[in-house]
Amino acid sequence: MLVAPSILSADFGKLNVEIKDICKCGADKLHIDVMDGHFVPNLTFGPAVIKSVAKISTKPLDIHLMVQNNTFFVDLFAPLKPKYISFHIEEEKHPHRLLQKIRDLGIKPAIVLNPSTPPESVEFLLDNLDMVLLMSVNPGFGGQKFIPSVLEKAKRLKDLLLRKNSKALIEVDGGVNDKNVLDLKNAGVDIVVAGSYVFGSSDYKKAIESLKV
Ligand code: DX5
Ligand code: ZN
């Protein structure tokens, strides 16, 4: 299992120290939650903050857009050269076109599905994406409770990927901890995002290791 700590749960008062620490403690990439106060009822980081994070980070960035105007934000963050940009299918009229645009910018494109969005909704997008991110909480906040129906959804998505010969990775985001990570692994998940579980622990290294099942 690959682990992407979400910096949403970091201590923003000492963000540079937090980024350095988490990179040293076994993070595979850094998950960055961009919220616009419209698609979700919360606001997080803009390009100035993420630019500083990108400078300090020794790990690739995984940008998760939770916004209304995806194309505007893709253009805003593309110059920071993140490894992935993912956007919510529920908020995009032209997902196929936007995936292609992200790929043309040299970034790996990914789609995010809310807890109630079926995995089959990505079926005709598989040729154009590198990752599907399944939300296991309703987007907007860290520290929420894991929604277990994501396990069945991940299995159905994994079957679909195998049937269609897709190499896309499956990432799960929300309420992940050492109690549910093995079930996620068994359901076919490749990457977990973890915010409060990792940053809320006193030993980041141990917390990340406990997720690498
Ligand atoms: C929620 C965000 C998550 C969040 C996860 O909208 O997308 O990435 O930071 O935090 P935890 O692991 O605390 O649920
Ligand atoms: Zn996220």
The rounded Å distance from CA 127 to ligand 1 centre is: 27
31 within ligand 1 shell (Cβ under 6 A): yes
Domain ranges of the chain: 2-211
Question: pLDDT, tens digit, for every residue of 154-182?
Answer: 999 999 999 999 999 999 999 999 999 99
We find that the CATH architecture of domain 2-211 is Alpha-Beta Barrel (3.20)
Confidence at 25, pLDDT banded by 50, 70, 90: very high
Atom of ligand 1 nearest to the CA of 40: 6
Question: pLDDT, tens digit, for every residue of 54-70?
Answer: 999 999 999 999 999 99
- pTM for this prediction: 0.98
Which residues line ion ligand 2, judged by CB < 5 Å? 33, 64, 173
Question: What is the distance in angstroms between the CA of the first residue and the CA of the last residue of the chain?
Answer: 6
Confidence at 98, pLDDT banded by 50, 70, 90: very high
Pocket test for ligand 1, best of 144, 178, 204 (most atoms within 8 A of CB): 144
Q: Round the average pLDDT of the chain to a whole number and report it.
A: 98
> pLDDT over 90 for what percent of the chain?
100
Which of 168, 166, 207, 159 is CA-nearest to residue 191? Answer: 168
